[in-house]
Amino acid sequence: MKIRIGTRGSVLALWQAEHVKGLLAPQGHDVELHKITTTGDQVLDRRLESIGGKGAFLKEIEEALLAGQVDLAVHSLKDVPTALPRGLMLCAYLERADARDALLSNSGRRLEALPPGARLGTSSLRRSSQVKAMRPDLHVDDLRGNVDTRIRRLRERHYDAILLAMAGLVRLGRTGEVTQVLDPGVFVPAPGQGTIVLECRQGDDPVRAAAGALHHEPTAQVVRTERTFLAALEGGCNVPLGAHATMDGGRFHLRAFVARYDGSAVLRGEDWDADPDALGKRVAADLLARGAWQLVRS
């Protein structure tokens, strides 16, 4: 069967699409990659939340799916909103890679050891709020672009340090540049971080079946916990929050936070449950009961 994969054109996105192609080809599928430029790739001079948040990296690819121009989309799950366009579905979750964040610094210093006034680059409200809460003496500045662009900007001394997802650095073979891998119990990752997800049209049973052969159910259950939490809290807004779940002995553990944009206040919660949906909803309800929405709107 011929399968046309829609993907962004960044080095990391192409790595992910090629990885999926390599998994589908042994099944006898003829796989083509179609590079699609998204709004998030085009508009680099504004903060991400001003152009639609992380969904800006999906819009044009999902439009191509709905138009029948491609059959399958490959995404980083952390970029995928919990509400999908009508007619589309997530049809497979690949086994999760490293979900943690990584610090890269020119000085080789860890986050806690960066000098006061050091300039740290990130485009993520989640990362920014956590850094500001831990190190209010640092200057946190917006940094857009793909992995290569961000690392180049660091090495050109525009920043003293930057934060990136560890999974992307592993996939691109750039872990040797990492100064510090941040503990997810302290610096909480984004919901779904480290997971590649496949999206297809509802009703396209042949493509759904092909993608389903790549599905990793334990990953799907863990990230379901995180995304249930996200759905209960995001409300269509771009909120500084993180959620990281693990599974042990048939029970899920979820650790999550919501913060004020400037990091001056952080609400944290965690709990255990055998039901991923119940766990995500309960941790979200706990944070909401303690004033999560008032905190991010203040």
Show the domains of the chain with their CATH numbers: 2-94+195-215 (3.40.190.10), 101-181 (3.40.190.10), 223-297 (3.30.160.40)
Give residue 224's pLDDT.
Answer: 98
Write down the catalytic residue from 79, 98, 101, 204. Answer: 79
Residue 48 has pLDDT above 80, yes or no: no
Give residue 51's pLDDT.
Answer: 43
Mean per-residue pLDDT for 34-50? 67
By the 10 Å C-beta count (0-12 exposed, 13-18 middle, 19+ buried), 266 is classed as middle
On whether the CB atoms of residues 187 and 135 are closer than 8 A, the answer is no
d(CA 283, CA 278): 9
Mean per-residue pLDDT for 132-136? 98
Q: What percent of the chain has pLDDT over 70?
A: 93
Chain position carrying tokens 């691109």:
172
Average pLDDT, the chain: 94
DSSP for 36-83, please give it: ---HHHH--SS-GGGGTGGGGGTHHHHHHHHTTS-SEEEEEGGGS-SS
Mean per-residue pLDDT for 104-109? 98
Residue 238 confidence class, pLDDT cut points 50, 70, 90? confident
On whether the CB atoms of residues 189 and 98 are closer than 8 A, the answer is no
Mean per-residue pLDDT for 201-214? 98
Which tokens hold the place of 186? 């302290």
Could you list the beta-strand ranges (E) of 175-250: 180-181, 196-201, 241-248
Q: What is the pLDDT of residues 258-294, one digit of tens each?
A: 999 999 999 999 999 999 999 999 999 999 999 998 8
Residue 46 has pLDDT above 70, yes or no: no
- Higher pLDDT, residue 29 or 46: 29
The whole-model pTM stands at 0.94
30 part of the active site:
no
